[in-house]
């Protein structure tokens, strides 16, 4: 492993490991992205996957929110589609539609088209981006790596892109349950290698995005989602015991208790979850992350501050990483992101003095 500058602000990692800190750390999902004019400038010259695949560009974009805002972490600019790409599927970014697969997995026979990648070859650009970014961060804040979760990646690979119902992917669970599990197992293997490789390249915390977990009911979650999420955590944890793991199983409200029994250190909550109720369910089994409704950033600053304060009060001062309940939106005002971050810092320090 390369040697990196010493870390100056380690609040994020300390809270993720269950320690207490002088204030609540904060970062934002999609904090590097379209709402930043400096990101738009980069994208005016380079298309989306060119930025993802060019380590210097990915590093530049990753650092933009850290240069602008007092966030307590940097998340590598990348995309969950890197894993399906590494498994041999073509993905293109279609403006207004998001990532799209020209040739999705339509039937179980299509599994033959998948390859078992060497992640160092297929995803070396992400590893290099992490190493370059970690150097350029100069220890200001920790660097977060990430991957899509097996089910969410399967949902895209079968559906072929964004969808309201993901009914093709969900149909597989009922029509081809064994092929679905085969696909999920193969995806799990790649995700595990990918996350371990990210740590070797410089990632100091890892988040697993199960963005489509909420498409399940409790039964299919138990059969097709949870086992693979759980396996990712236990295998990555045994390889990298010191690296905090975060899981974001969006809208899987019924899964909170089960997720608290996995090797994830942190459970990230979407904005539908009541912080106090979540704390009651999870107890001291995991740290909680989240969960301001991203649309609250549309509010005028004073109303936004009240909402942040209300959220912080719900979670309490400790064992909480402040974040949004989903990603930043393209028309958010960067100055409202600043209000969010600064209010978390100010209010969470005050909460500790009461």
Active-site residue list: 30, 34, 43, 79, 156
The DSSP result for 41-58, as a single string, is: HHHHHS-HHHHHH-HHHH
Binds a second copy (CB under 8 A): choice among 298, 305, 346, 351: 298
Separation between Cα atoms, residue 200 and residue 197, nearest integer Å: 5
Examine residue 309 and tell whether it contacts a second copy (CB under 8 A). no
Per-residue binding letters, 254-293, with a second copy (x by CB under 8 A) = x----------------xxxx--x-------------x-x
Closer to a second copy at the Cβ: 7 or 329?
A: 329
Packing angle, helices 226-239 and 150-159, rounded to 10:
130
β-pair partners for 235: none
User: In degrees rounded to 5, what are phi and psi of residue 91?
Assistant: -130, 130
Binds a second copy (CB under 8 A): choice among 7, 93, 111, 171: 171
Binds a second copy (CB under 8 A): choice among 45, 121, 174, 280: 174
Q: Judge whether 230 and 222 are in contact, CB under 8 Å.
A: no
Closer to a second copy at the Cβ: 176 or 352?
A: 176
Separation between Cα atoms, residue 54 and residue 64, nearest integer Å: 16
Residue span binding a second copy (CB under 8 A) among the ranges 116-124, 153-161, 202-210, 303-311: 303-311
Write down the least CB distance from residue 303 to a second copy, Å: 7
Helix (H) or strand (E) run with residue 304 in it:
helix 301-315
Write down the least CB distance from residue 205 to a second copy, Å: 25
Write down the least CB distance from residue 219 to a second copy, Å: 7
Helix (H) or strand (E) run with residue 181 in it:
helix 177-201
Residue 78 is encoded by which pair of tokens? 């990348």
Examine residue 184 and tell whether it contacts a second copy (CB under 8 A). no
Q: Judge whether 64 and 32 are in contact, CB under 8 Å.
A: yes
Closer to a second copy at the Cβ: 203 or 324?
A: 324
Nearest alpha-carbon partner for 322 in 353, 354, 347, 350: 347
Write down the least CB distance from residue 147 to a second copy, Å: 21
Closer to a second copy at the Cβ: 299 or 351?
A: 299
DSSP state of 21: -
Residue span binding a second copy (CB under 8 A) among the ranges 60-68, 139-147, 158-166, 341-349: 158-166
Examine residue 325 and tell whether it contacts a second copy (CB under 8 A). yes
Examine residue 185 and tell whether it contacts a second copy (CB under 8 A). no
Count of residues engaged in binding a second copy, rule: CB under 8 A: 40
Helix (H) or strand (E) run with residue 279 in it:
helix 275-282
Examine residue 302 and tell whether it contacts a second copy (CB under 8 A). no
Separation between Cα atoms, residue 16 and residue 319, nearest integer Å: 7
Examine residue 144 and tell whether it contacts a second copy (CB under 8 A). no
For 94, other C-beta atoms within 10 Å of its C-beta total 12
Q: Tokens 């979540």 identify what position?
A: 278
Write down the least CB distance from residue 286 to a second copy, Å: 20
Q: Which residues bind a second copy (CB under 8 A)?
A: 162, 164-165, 167, 170-171, 173-175, 214, 216-220, 251-254, 271-274, 277, 291, 293-300, 303-304, 307, 310, 325, 329, 331
């Amino acid at each position: 492993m390369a040697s990196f500058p010493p870390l100056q602000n380690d609040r994020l990692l300390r809270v993720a490991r269950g320690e207490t800190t002088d204030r609540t750390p904060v970062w934002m999902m999609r904090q590097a992205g379209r709402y930043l004019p400096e990101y738009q400038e980069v994208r005016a010259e380079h298309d989306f996957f060119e930025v993802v695949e060019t380590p210097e560009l990915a590093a530049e974009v990753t650092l933009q929110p850290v240069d602008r805002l007092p966030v307590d972490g940097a998340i590598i600019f990348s995309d969950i589609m890197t894993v399906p790409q590494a498994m041999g599927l073509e993905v293109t970014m279609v403006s207004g539609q998001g990532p799209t697969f020209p040739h999705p997995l339509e039937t179980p026979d299509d599994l033959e088209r998948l390859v078992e990648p060497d992640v160092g070859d297929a995803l070396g650009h992400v590893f290099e981006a992490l190493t370059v970014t970690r150097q350029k961060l100069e220890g200001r804040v920790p660097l977060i790596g990430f991957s899509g979760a097996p089910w969410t990646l399967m949902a895209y690979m079968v559906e072929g892109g964004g969808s309201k119902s993901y009914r093709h992917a969900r149909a597989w669970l009922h029509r081809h349950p064994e092929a679905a599990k085969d696909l999920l197992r193969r995806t799990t293997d790649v995700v595990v290698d990918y996350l371990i490789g990210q740590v070797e390249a410089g990632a100091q915390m890892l988040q697993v995005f199960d963005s489509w977990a909420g498409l399940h009911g409790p039964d299919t979650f138990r059969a097709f989602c949870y086992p693979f999420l759980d396996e990712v955590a236990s295998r990555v944890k045994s390889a990298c015991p010191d690296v905090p793991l975060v899981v974001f199983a969006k809208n899987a409200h019924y899964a909170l208790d089960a997720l608290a029994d996995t090797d994830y250190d942190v459970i990230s909550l979407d904005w539908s979850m009541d912080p106090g109720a979540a704390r009651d369910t999870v107890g001291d089994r995991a740290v909680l992350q989240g969960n301001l409704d991203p649309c609250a950033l549309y509010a005028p600053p004073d109303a936004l501050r009240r909402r942040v304060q209300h959220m912080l009060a719900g979670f309490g001062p400790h064992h909480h990483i402040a974040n949004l309940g989903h990603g930043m939106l393209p028309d958010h005002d960067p100055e409202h992101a600043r209000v969010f971050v600064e209010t978390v810092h100010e209010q969470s320090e005050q909460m500790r003095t009461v």
